A and B are shown apart, each in its own frame.
Chain A
Amino acid sequence: MSKRQAAASGAAEYLTIAFTYFTVGVTVSVTLVDRGVDTGLTVGAAFMVHSATSVLAYVAVSDAGGAMIAGLLSGWLVASRFGLLAATLGARLHVGVPERVLAGLNAFDPNVAMAVREDKPGRVRSVFWRTTAMMIGGWIVGVFLGLWVGNVLGDTSRFGLDVVFPAALLGIIGGALRRRDALAAAFSAAAITLILFPALPAGLPILLSVAGAAVGVAYSQRQQVPS
């Protein structure tokens, strides 16, 4: 690849990330506005929590009638991946404490993945912040546009917006699902929830689906044992 082609594909990657986070921002706002959440709280929740998956997980559990604590636990559990991503980034980022705090608070899937691909410490830092800027830029515009879209649409299930919600979540984990152990974890977790859902209090089946992660680990352990 020539230098020019490399630059072009790099720019395309940044734009794709910005557009993805724009769409995620729209989804989060529309989802909250659709549930009667006012403008201030929709924007506040989006920017304070700083994790679309956490907000959507909380909303999904409270929609099902789950207690607040069950919603919070689900929101925290799905964000645990950001802790792991921050750990991965932390090992490669050689900067002072204030910048480490800021970088940690902004650890998302694409910016960490793109940063740790780089070899030189200086490049890790610049690629991380550049990707972060693109993501957050797209996210901010998306959240505000979503406010407007949510208010204009009215009856959202007519537009299939109740499917936007699960489809967005599926899209978020789509990359991870290419691994066999992740697929095993995902299918077991889904099965656990669907079996327990009619019997247990709302929210509990989601929390118990964590057991699916153990199935995934068991699966990968079995693959490693030579037969």
Chain B
Amino acid sequence: MILRVVLTLLSHYRRHPGQLAMLLVGLWVASALWSSVQAINATAKESYARANALFSLETDQLARSDGIALSIDDYFLLRQAGLPVSPLLESSLTIENTRLTVLGIDLLTLPASNGNSRTTANGGSLTEFISPPWQTQLSPDTLQVFRLDRQQALGATPSIGEQRLPPLTLRNDLPPNTLVMDIAAVWALFGEQATLSLVTASGALSQPPEGYRLTRATSLASPEQLTDSFHLNLTALALLSLVVGLFIVQAALGLAMEQRMTTLRTFRALGVPGKTITLAILLELLLFGLIGAALGLISGLWLAGKLLPDVASTLSSLYQADVQRSLALPWHYWLGSVAITLGGLLLAGSGVLWRATKLQVLALGQSYAWRFSYQRQLMRMLQAGGLAGAITLGLATCLSLLPAGEGLVVSFSLVAALLFTCALCLPPALNALLQLLQRLLRRRPLGQWLAADMQLQLPRLSLAMMALLIALATNLGVSSMVGGFRLTFLEWLDQRLAAPLYINATPSTLTPLNEWLTSQPEVLETLPTARGNTRLLAINSAMENERNANESALLSSIAVFGISTVPTLTSQWPLLETFDGIPRAWEALAQQSVFINEQMAVARALQPGDSVLLETLQGAVWFTVAAIYPDYGNPQQQLLVTVDTLMQRFEGELASTGIVLHSEADTDAFRQALSTEFDLSPDTLVNQQEIKEAATQIFERTFSITRALNGLTLGVAALALLATLLAQAQQRQRQLATLWALGVPRATLALLPLIQLGGLALITGLLAIPLGITITWLLVAVINVAAFGWRLPLQLFPLDIAVMLLTAFSVALFAAALPTLQLWRTSPRALLNEETQ
């Protein structure tokens, strides 16, 4: 019997294929975006897991105190002194725009790990690894760079330039885009171009040997911690599209239920038990759910495949975390995706099921009473909206109590709650507006009808409008944030890159080079920089009393950056806050003061005027914080001092040097002279333009995924609106027929739905603007600080807002135009027929 019931229920969709399409489209898009983002996250997690599984042992690094690059002699010297150091020779290769890290190791001296499981690797014997022709070990997902598959890979020797790599060997436990080989093999390929570092097992040396300094592996967070916020952003967007998709589903289900009420009552009258009917509807839902989930998974995977390379390059440029560029999905991913789709569907269909169980056999002929029930529904929506509003307020209070830079999850929940509050209040608001319109248009019957008819349509349109509101507001928020970030970032880049030429060389080359530069007539100014490390021991802030470094979070390694305070730089260097004005801040920096980056200010709750106790070469010293500067894109906290201070007080080395030439100087000739004098490779000399281009490229990639997901969400909302309108087009014609019979001309008749829907969409769009601006503010001022540690100025783009409104309007018009066109083509007789049916 139940089969018969299900089949009868399903037969409804044969008469209304539009509703079926809408239902499946809703499920499909909801599931597709969600699955794709989950696929991306799962793949990234898998890549991190490979890292973390082996992360138990960290290495400390030794460098020479005099800044000269390490050589094999240093290695021999330190080994002879009995220090357990191991050499690492690093270089990189770029093949088809993919940067591969080449790591040369000495298996014989690598710090042994005690806790590791003794798995026998398939990497072959030690002898093969360290004897020519050596081996290149790589993970299988790196193979695609060489256009090789697994079968061809073993023993292959891909050529790189004029040389060939040692025969390939696959290792599943290596991170992507990393080639590991014997240190002698790396030397054979790269020679002096490879950089030597000396590592020891973390904590193996209690103090560095004389003449060397030790960088401990303590302050670094794991890639998972760093990238957490990024993945949370993606998940939030995906969740949003899931919600929008489910709105469509609920609309479709509600409509189908409405229209099948009579059928259901007939069933009951024929003696079908209520439970059977409920079960039949449940089966129907499951069937749709499975189809929708399958469709969603397939297209979600396709989408993820398209997006993953961008995500991977974003993660690698932002956090230097390598994620493989092909999907790797664990079993729970598949299960999870289907479960989310089915769960969402059941949630969306719960209303329908509820009504099916409460079905009154004798309540025949009440199908037109829905208008009253809708009033109740509006009331309930208002109540739910009020509840969501209360939650929003609660979350906002909670957020204001949290220290700045924390509460990423709370912020996202706040955005979600805010969206729901507004979405839930939208139908009552629209209803009230239409009520008002009806009253205002009392004297214009057609106008009054227009408003009243709109009000009648509202129950069916409300969900689509809610979806539209959410999508529009989010779209506005995200695009304003991205646009604002873009402007701020480019401006900041302009300010920070004061010199037209930059030299990136090893510290040992930079020392003589900086001296040489001062003697060159073409050189107007040199801007040396340096970098180093220190430890933050204590904080003395105006807000609180002295905080001691007993908290482990405080006693951590902090990067120090050194710049030269020449006017070329100081006049442009952006500062966010100063203690007593910008000129005084720069004066202070030359003395016992430091600048801190915004990330540090947020994380340590520091303000200009506070002081920090830092570990220096002369012992612990108090420094005053003179200013806070923006440092976009840097995941770490940083202190800024002058180069002189850095070299005298902290363990550090020279970093890149900026050069300003006289305006009449021949840049190319100077470059040439510089390269010849110091035997520099072409890529050590970069001009400002190249850096800007590289940075902009990273930036564009970072937000390409956000943009793609955002655009897709808006598309889904448009689809929801279109599907809803199409689904009820049939009914609309009946109501219009009456008007036609009353003598309204067909041209006016065709125009009416356009005015109705266009107006409704426009109102929704206008309501979305303040909501969108609020979301933008939450994104740039709250979520960004929590996720990345910096705040962006709130910037709005009127043109974007106009485009958004226009999009909403056009979608509504387009959706209304199709039924209108149909109406235009239908003969008046047919319309009347429909009415009498």
The yes or no verdict on A and B being binding partners is no
Interface residues, chain B, with chain A CB atoms under 8 Å away: none
